[in-house]
Amino acid sequence: MTETAFIHRFEPATTAGSPPLLLLHGTGGDENDLLGLGRMISSGSALLSPRGRVLEHGMPRFFRRLAEGVFDEDDVRRRARELGEFVDESRQRYGIAAPVAVGFSNGANIAAALLLLEPDVLAGAILLRAMVPLSDPPTANLGGKQVLLLSGQADPIVPASNSAKLAAVLSQAGARVTHRVLPAGHQLSQADVTLARDWIGSVDAKAA
């Protein structure tokens, strides 16, 4: 394995023109966790699903944290760049276009960091229960990339002010952000699936 290799699953596309999805699990998940979600929201898409390389008490994550909601931001930057390199390598290996990230919790946070640090890696993103990943985000040009941010009104982990700030940061960087606050907690609901499926239908795949 190369230094940027991730244990992962890949499923090729079954429908031409469907945008490939980069599936990014939450804490304690793995490369299998979001495959079902990916199929539900875009049944014909290629699916690229890596396992986070950081372990917290044996649970895979995509970057280190110092406490609940307190991130090791140097590690966020390092891991986002590693993930970006993995996506670039996977695009060459599997012949896919720039993917739309579908991230949940920790996976959504690394996807948001990837948008800000490596804007060319992703075609867009669905961020499920995401937080601001960097307290001093870099100046990025997201050039109209579409982002769907779905937050939970009763989420005990992500304060409403934090998700609203993330929406503002991404919008200021040029993304076209749709932010919806759902009557839910941190876990996903059927409304997340429905909204994500409807949204992804409006996102065209970019040429590989």
- Active-site residue list: 105, 155, 186
**C-alpha 65: how far from its chain's center?**
17
Structure tokens at 17: 């023109």
Length of the chain counted residue by residue:
208
> d(Cα 185, Cα 164) in Å, to the nearest integer?
16
End-to-end CA distance of the chain: 24
* 60 three-class SS: strand
The H or E element spanning position 108 is: helix 106-117
Q: In terms of Cα–Cα distance, which of 3, 175, 178, 27 is closest to 103?
A: 27
Q: Report long-range pairs for 13-17 (Cβ below 8 Å, ≥24 apart).
A: 13/44, 13/45, 13/46, 13/96, 14/43, 14/44, 15/43, 15/44, 15/45, 16/44, 17/204, 17/205
